[in-house]
């Protein structure tokens, strides 16, 4: 382990205590300055990103990285607009820490409070996407957490310029300790970062399936995230076809290189002959490669100019991150649910139907972090869910699930306020009795 990394991690852990005690106004001042700085330094960001894009294209041409990775790397004015909007949305969000979540009267005059607080020091390891830096930095700052970032070498110039701009803005405008935020640059530091379980409280990985699995398999630190994004849309026999065409097209085509894009389309057999011909024609205009089971192949095979293949068993569990789609005709909603729970990744799955019973059954039976009715899977995103931005999407079933915003960066502590109480007072021969009553009482000293 490098002494420099260990020094940074220790300093960030110590600075997290200072940040945790700061009020929302001071943190918002830093966030507003960060947003203004990104706007003022657009040309520098885009210029640095161009270097990364050039290098990434060479790697892609040599077969070393995918086109999806290149797509995620690109930063333009629209992407910078999104970074700024995400930060400003975080400014408007309520500070998640210092809130009384529960209060219990233990006994007369003795109260127990459950109070929200920051997690502490977050390790963020990510591939490609430079917009991860302002997204997670803003959420961690507002929620009172320190961060150690480790980005991929393919985005080294973009990450550094964005990080430096944000740090300079924080130092210039606020009392937030700059030591709270650190960017690691060498490849060798990844394993060192993952070994810092004495100081780092949570690791958030952002990247490919293989990348996330590697992180999960190589650290004792708790990991928040997901490895796969195998998302589905099920078109029910009671679907409104106009809605179905829009939802299914957007779910696959709007941005195929991300984890919440649809990879498998399930269509009820009663509606498939009417629905699929037009749907497949729409996909053809977007150059989508179609991989069909036997029943959908029979419907689509006569469409001219279609990039059509037979589906293989492995396709049902594949996250393509590309303009490729598997299609299966199924007999019932129960079969759709079984297919999703068996082959999906518990990320995001959608149903298109007008039947309320089928809506309820789908939502209750599909075991995914986001279930959607009559809308695109692409909505499963922290910004679109109104969280300002997201630290990641989690398919975990503990702590935080789905698109995770600031609520996933807060935990809680118990605060017991007594008046010289002792446990002996409550024993069999003591003078006090437990009341254990829930009360509406804010923790305030």
pLDDT digits (tens, 9 = 90+) for 154-199: 899 999 999 999 999 999 988 999 999 999 877 778 888 999 999 9
pLDDT digits (tens, 9 = 90+) for 26-83: 999 999 999 999 999 999 999 999 999 999 999 889 888 778 778 888 999 999 999 9
> What per-residue confidence (pLDDT) applies to 366?
94
> What per-residue confidence (pLDDT) applies to 83?
93
pTM score, whole prediction:
0.77
**Residue 50 class from Cβ within 10 Å (0-12 exposed, 13-18 middle, 19+ buried)?**
middle
Other Cβ atoms within 10 Å of 334 Cβ, number: 11
3-state secondary structure of 255: coil
> What per-residue confidence (pLDDT) applies to 176?
92
For 416-422, the CB contacts below 8 A with 24+ separation are: 416/106, 416/110, 416/111, 416/112, 416/113, 417/110, 417/111, 417/112, 417/113, 417/443, 417/445, 418/106, 418/109, 418/110, 419/109, 419/110, 421/107, 421/110
> What per-residue confidence (pLDDT) applies to 228?
77
Residues of the chain under the 50 pLDDT cut: none
> What per-residue confidence (pLDDT) applies to 69?
78
pLDDT digits (tens, 9 = 90+) for 244-264: 999 999 999 999 988 899 999
> What per-residue confidence (pLDDT) applies to 91?
93
Do residues 252 and 288 touch, judged by C-beta distance below 8 A? Answer: yes
For the chain, domains (ranges, CATH) are: 3-97+118-224+391-409 (3.40.605.10), 231-379 (3.40.309.10)
Q: Which is nearest to 411 in space by CA: 160, 170, 121?
A: 121
């Amino acid at each position: 382990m490098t002494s420099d990394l260990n020094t940074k991690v220790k300093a960030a852990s110590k600075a997290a205590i200072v940040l945790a005690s700061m009020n929302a106004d001071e943190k918002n001042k830093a966030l507003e300055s960060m947003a203004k700085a990104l706007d003022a330094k657009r040309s520098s960001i885009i210029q640095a990103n161009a270097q990364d894009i050039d290098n990434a294209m060479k790697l892609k041409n040599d077969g070393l990285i995918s086109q999806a990775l290149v797509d995620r790397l690109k930063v333009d004015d629209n992407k910078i607009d999104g970074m700024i909007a995400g930060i400003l949305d975080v400014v408007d969000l309520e500070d998640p820490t210092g809130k009384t979540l529960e209060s219990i009267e233990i006994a007369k005059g003795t109260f127990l409070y459950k109070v929200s607080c920051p997690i502490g020091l977050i390790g963020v390891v990510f591939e490609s996407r430079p917009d991860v830096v302002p997204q997670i930095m803003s959420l961690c700052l507002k929620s009172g957490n320190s961060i150690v970032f480790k980005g991929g070498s393919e985005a080294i110039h973009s990450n550094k310029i964005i990080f430096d701009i944000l740090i300079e803005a924080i130092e210039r405008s606020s009392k937030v300790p700059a030591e709270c935020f650190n960017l690691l640059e060498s490849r060798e530091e990844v394993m060192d970062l993952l070994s810092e379980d004495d100081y780092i409280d949570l690791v958030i990985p952002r990247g490919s399936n293989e990348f996330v699995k590697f992180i999960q398999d190589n650290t004792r630190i708790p990991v928040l995230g997901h490895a796969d994004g195998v998302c589905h849309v099920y078109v029910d026999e009671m679907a409104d076809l106009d809605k179905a065409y829009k939802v299914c097209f957007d779910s696959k085509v709007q941005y195929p290189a991300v984890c919440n894009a649809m990879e498998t389309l399930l269509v009820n057999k009663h509606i498939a002959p009417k629905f699929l011909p037009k749907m497949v024609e729409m996909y053809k205009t977007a150059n989508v490669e179609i991989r069909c089971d036997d029943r959908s192949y029979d419907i689509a095979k006569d469409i001219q100019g279609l990039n059509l293949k037979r589906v293989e068993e492995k396709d049902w569990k594949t996250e393509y991150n590309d303009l490729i789609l598997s299609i299966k005709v199924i007999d019932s909603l129960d079969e759709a649910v079984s297919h999703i729970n068996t082959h999906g990744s518990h990320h995001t799955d959608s149903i298109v139907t007008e039947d309320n019973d089928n809506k309820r059954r789908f939502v209750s039976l599909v075991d995914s972090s986001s279930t959607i009715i009559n809308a695109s899977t692409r909505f499963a995103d922290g910004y679109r869910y109104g969280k300002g931005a997201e630290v990641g999407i989690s398919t975990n079933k503990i702590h935080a699930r789905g698109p995770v915003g600031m609520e996933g960066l807060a935990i809680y502590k118990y605060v017991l306020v007594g008046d010289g109480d002792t446990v002996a007072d409550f024993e069999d021969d003591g003078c006090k009795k437990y009341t254990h009553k829930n009360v509406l009482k804010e923790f305030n000293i």
